Amino acid sequence: EVQLVESGGGSAQAGGSLRLSCIVSEYTDDSMCVAWFRQAPGQEREGVASIYTGGDLLDYTDSVKDRFTISQDNAKNTVYLQMNSLKPEDTAVYYCAAGPTGYCFGAHWSTGDMHYWGKGTLVNISS
């Protein structure tokens, strides 16, 4: 079974930066759709960004466009989320998830219907 492990969470001040990492144990069919989600206290889980590991297809939710960047290092089976210009409303537990490659096409990933999930990493942004 595919396993995902997140790291890089922590505390930062508004305007600062953090980089999250997600190590994926294996890519089924040599590629997958990998995405970051977040859940703030008392709120529903939200899709943040996705990447098709077999190519350059990226997608972002509107609230993080121009601030967050999703990228990958296939040699390390790792997906990153670079978060800049952080805001207090970015405070949440961030989860990495993976699913079939098709989930990155047509934005299916954003529904949260992913097959594999990490345990999450906490990001806390103070004003």
DSSP sequence for 25-68: S--GGG--EEEEEEE-TTS--EEEEEEETTS--EEE-GGGTTTE
Q: Is the model's pLDDT at 79 over the cut of 90?
A: yes
Q: Is the model's pLDDT at 28 over the cut of 90?
A: no
Task: Output the pLDDT for position 56.
Answer: 79
Query: Which residue in the block uniquely carries the two structure tokens 């601030």?
Result: 67
Averaged pLDDT score across all residues of the chain: 95
**What share of the chain in percent tops pLDDT 90?**
90
Task: Output the pLDDT for position 92.
Answer: 98
Partnered with residue 18 across adjacent β-strands are 83
Task: Output the pLDDT for position 109.
Answer: 93
pLDDT digits (tens, 9 = 90+) for 34-74: 999 999 999 999 999 999 999 879 999 999 999 999 999 99
Query: Which residue in the block uniquely carries the two structure tokens 């047509």?
Result: 106
Task: Report which of residues 29 and 60 the model is more confident about.
Answer: 60
CB 53 within 8 A of CB 34: yes
